[in-house]
Structure 1
Amino acid sequence: MHEILKRINELALKRRTEGLTQNENAEIANLRTKYIQEFRGSMEELLLNTTIVDPKGDDVTPNKLKKAQAKNRMKQIW
């Protein structure tokens, strides 16, 4: 993911300084799509591994999230 972000930043700098070719414009659009997909995937994993606890120590994780977590545990790894 860091390589994608690094390349996006390189192309953005080039766009500001000298402009991009048609191929570079397509590349940056493709890289941004990949970056967003990876970001959303990592956020989903983070949420699926989160438990919400109130100050009393009680689990107050919403039922919708608990169902998604249970569904995720049932997925086969391979």
Structure 2
Amino acid sequence: MSEDPILKKLIPRINELAHKAKSDGLTKQEEAERADLRKKYLKRFKENMRSQIEMVQVYNKSGKEVTPEKVKDVQRKKGLRDD
């Protein structure tokens, strides 16, 4: 999976605010910015995780596909499966 460019932009600022919070404390404006950045980060993280899970196919030791039907249904709706 390639790195998400949006997360790549958010993480340095989130870390910067975290370090500042520990050392000097944050202003009200910075606290609001931190909360907003965290929301954006979590939203994007969940979208990426969902996308990864939707692409998964699960096989047992004998090589038979045992992907849960719920995941198969999502894959079919997205045109990722033929069966």
TM-score under structure 1 normalisation? 0.89
SS of 2:78's equivalent in the other structure is helix
Matched pairs, number: 74
Whole-Å separation in 2 of the counterparts to 1:50 and 1:65: 8
* Alignment partners' CA distance in 1, 2:77 and 2:32: 37
Amino acid at match of 1:20: L
1:72 to partner: Cα distance:
2.2
Deviation per CA, 1:16-50: give whole Å up to 9, x if none.
10011111000000000000011000001101111
For residue 72 of structure 2, what is the aligned residue in structure 1?
66
Could you tell me which amino acid in structure 1 is paired with residue 31 of structure 2? N
Q: Does 1 or 2 have the higher relative contact order (CA < 8 Å, sep 6+)?
A: 1
> Which residue number in structure 2 is paired with residue 57 of structure 1?
63
The equivalent of 2:28 in structure 1 is: 22
What SS does structure 2 have at the residue aligned with 1:43? helix
Structure 2: segments with no counterpart, 5+ residues: 1-6
Please state if 1:41 is matched with 2:61.
Answer: no
Segments of 5+ residues of structure 1 without an aligned counterpart are none
Identity across aligned pairs (percent)?
38
